[in-house]
Structure 1
């Protein structure tokens, strides 16, 4: 294995695995801490953790375990994959985990860049934009778990970090790889363990990748990996051919637990032509609605792309959280979808779409999957995935990703060439 990735949630892991596979690396996505060595043909290994919203010390410990496994597989470079909207509270995990990984690898001047221009995430003068809005005005300021109220990433990361945080501004980035490399070296010399790097177009990320050919660690969204496969292919270390993907036909289901704008729109589009079941959260909390009920709905509508969703507008979510507690609501819904997914797969479902990072993490944990092969891209940042051990295809979608018709499109891509 040449390149290792530690991702702080499951949909983000799927996203960066997609980027690496498109770049030409034979890529496997490992769901949770791996329990066995990687296949010898793997060139890039992505370890998906559910560490974004847990206590920082726990996130650090998990990430260091993942690092130990990746180093044992022979990885020459590590990426710490975070959300493209930098999801974390001021006490959050991006800074502590990135610093811990840097310390373990002896790295300084570590580039930090969550930019993903294809989905509207750009960084300029250290500030994160979503489309034409600052992060703090994009709706992310109302995120139920990680409200982002400050778009200044340098300031936000400094609140989480013990050591100074630098900045590589766009005027340097546009000068190319050599200028970026010099700026990161200068940041390291100045005692800045991490440095926010501006990027507003894909070419900026390609240049950053070229600048970091020999860097032991990079931190960022999946876009930061765009330029990395070419380094290994150019050096002759990688073959340039991605992992094979075999489509899977058969019964299907869609589970949506995200409350993001993109997912809410996808639900509205899908319910017009497909059967759907809106989860009554109060009924779940009062144990009047169980996983078996959701699974029965899906089975009743087999072949019709049935959708089960708990997604709701921010106001409804906030009211539920106020009445029952944020953690209690999140835990019960994650468990509901996890158990439903397990029942569905045990009952013969072979194509499963899951929307929401926390929901996806709960589902794949319940299914007991060790690793999946990375297949064709469904929408920017979201690939189809397939288990190498059984007939099961997955699409794990971050809440904010995907076109309005994502759900139907995902089911079609998973069945391609089946």
Structure 2
């Protein structure tokens, strides 16, 4: 890879999002705190840095590290960390999901720690801040907890995460969970230490560093605890670059500290504009995402099923693109919004059908994300080109990133967010057809049941952008 000319770019924070939609949430939190931020979809060239990032405080890179095996993770992450080193950032954040999705074979965080030590020259203990109280994620005495349907569960007993198909959480103690991923020594800063103040945190961290702990898990039960962790990281970064593994609440806390703004003084002064119709492309099978689709259909939206099993057939992707484009075009021409979906929740029989088809054909189930992404990219591009859409929605991290790359997207900035979850971003693309397109990128577990219909209404969103939506 040719080294980018970074002489004109001097952000103080860099972050890598280990999945696409989660990276967007992290970006939004930095912007909501008052920092100027941009996220690239690949490691940017020198020209792209000068064009999009010459005046920013935060540079992010969206990736898919959470879904990769260790060798692929190294190839994915090292160029990003090299970029951060060349930019001279003071804090480099590896943005994780707040449910700590990782395992020895997928999304291995021991691999991440090794890459950071090698590429950034990190020699001290790496802070880990997984707590995300605003999203119902808590760390207490190094054990991680997550809310589900109004109840809080220890992660190894969580109804969803304990049986996650890719990264099942079999251990809630994050120190032990990390040690299972590699030869790590992991310490912790318990809640009583964090609440004793900055001097106590500094002293406890120094003990971990002197004990040669590779990483330190910070407890967090309330937002103030995350604020304390972020404040410590920022102060530590005055002496040396700090690499932190952290969820999105850390980004908002750090952003407020860097921007020197108290939490209550961040206000929006502008509004997002309404759109009359929209296209939703959903590759998520979560229950919440299914409820969101049901809500849209109940309000008169056109629904189009994309059968994943059919994509395994010879010519299946091409046939699906033609069929879905026709159905989407028909719906948009009548003035209706359209949602294309692969499932209406985890119990939809179409998911079992797809799994059986993949196993019968001897193909990996991982192939679905790439093929669904190819369909979504083509369908979304046609809808924008032929029907003049100004805003579209992607639901599902892996399919979103693949589809966005097919639109020749290079970077995005968040322009609006919603308190109940979700962010609308403005796309920068080498293709003028898509440059300036507004996109709502959401994970399957994000947003209120009415988020899709509310995405049509500008007043439902808090403005974060530097320019008014047009």
- Could you tell me the TM-score, scaled by structure 2's length? 0.81
Partner of 1:282: 309
Q: Answer with 170-179 or 157-166: which moved more.
A: 170-179
Kindly state the Cα deviation for residue 375 of structure 1 after the two structures are TM-superposed. 1.3
Q: Answer with 366-375 or 223-232: which moved more.
A: 223-232
SS at the partner of 2:83? helix
Q: Answer with 326-335 or 386-395: which moved more.
A: 326-335
Q: 1:298 to 1:285 in 2, by over 3 A?
A: same
| Contact preservation (8 Å) 2:16, 2:95 | yes
Deviations 1:81-122 (A, max 9, x none): 011111122323222113311343324221112221112111
1:180-329 paired onto structure 2 within 5 Å: 180-213=201-234, 214-215=236-237, 216-234=242-260, 249=275, 252-273=278-299, 274-286=301-313, 287=316, 289-302=319-332, 303-314=335-346, 316=349, 317-318=351-352, 320-325=354-359, 326-329=365-368
SS at the partner of 1:399? coil
1:329-368 paired onto structure 2 within 5 Å: 329-347=368-386, 348-368=388-408
Kindly state the Cα deviation for residue 194 of structure 1 after the two structures are TM-superposed. 0.9
**What is the CA–CA distance in structure 2 between the aligned matches of 1:397 and 1:107, rounded to whole Å?**
36
| Contact preservation (8 Å) 1:246, 1:417 | yes
Kindly state the Cα deviation for residue 249 of structure 1 after the two structures are TM-superposed. 4.6
Q: 1:376 to 1:309 in 2, by over 3 A?
A: same
SS at the partner of 2:49? coil
**What is the CA–CA distance in structure 2 between the aligned matches of 1:181 and 1:294, rounded to whole Å?**
57
SS at the partner of 2:366? helix
**What is the CA–CA distance in structure 2 between the aligned matches of 1:133 and 1:319, rounded to whole Å?**
31
SS at the partner of 1:52? helix
Alpha-carbon RMSD across the aligned residues, in angstroms, is 2.7
Q: Answer with 116-125 or 305-314: which moved more.
A: 305-314
Deviations 1:262-294 (A, max 9, x none): 212212222211221222223333328512322
| Contact preservation (8 Å) 2:277, 2:456 | no
Task: Tell me if 1:127 matches 2:143.
Answer: yes
Q: Answer with 303-312 or 247-256: which moved more.
A: 247-256
**What is the CA–CA distance in structure 1 between the aligned matches of 2:325 and 2:200, rounded to whole Å?**
55
The equivalent position to 2:98 in structure 1, one of 76, 81, 84, is: 84
**What is the CA–CA distance in structure 2 between the aligned matches of 1:15 and 1:98, rounded to whole Å?**
23
Partner of 1:170: 191
SS at the partner of 2:224? helix
Q: Answer with 372-381 or 14-23: which moved more.
A: 372-381
Partner of 1:408: 453
Q: Answer with 40-49 or 93-102: which moved more.
A: 93-102
Unaligned 5+ runs, structure 1: none
| Contact preservation (8 Å) 2:131, 2:221 | yes
Unaligned 5+ runs, structure 2: 1-10, 360-364, 430-434
SS at the partner of 2:124? coil
- Greater RCO (Cα-Cα under 8 Å, separation 6 or more): 1
**What is the CA–CA distance in structure 1 between the aligned matches of 2:271 and 2:182, rounded to whole Å?**
40
Task: Tell me if 1:73 matches 2:99.
Answer: no
Partner of 1:114: 130
Task: Tell me if 1:97 matches 2:112.
Answer: yes
Q: 1:244 to 1:78 in 2, by over 3 A?
A: farther
**What is the CA–CA distance in structure 2 between the aligned matches of 1:61 and 1:245, rounded to whole Å?**
41
**What is the CA–CA distance in structure 1 between the aligned matches of 2:167 and 2:260, rounded to whole Å?**
39
**What is the CA–CA distance in structure 1 between the aligned matches of 2:280 and 2:406, rounded to whole Å?**
16
SS at the partner of 1:270? helix
Q: Answer with 280-289 or 220-229: which moved more.
A: 280-289
**What is the CA–CA distance in structure 2 between the aligned matches of 1:162 and 1:242, rounded to whole Å?**
46
**What is the CA–CA distance in structure 2 between the aligned matches of 1:384 and 1:207, rounded to whole Å?**
29
Deviations 1:140-183 (A, max 9, x none): 23333333333222211111133211121212222233322332
Deviations 1:185-230 (A, max 9, x none): 2212111111121111111111111111134111111112222123
- Could you tell me the TM-score, scaled by structure 1's length? 0.90
Kindly state the Cα deviation for residue 25 of structure 1 after the two structures are TM-superposed. 0.4
Partner of 1:37: 49
Kindly state the Cα deviation for residue 250 of structure 1 after the two structures are TM-superposed. 6.6
Q: Answer with 246-255 or 116-125: which moved more.
A: 246-255
* Structure of larger gyration radius: 2
The equivalent position to 2:14 in structure 1, one of 4, 26, 31, is: 4
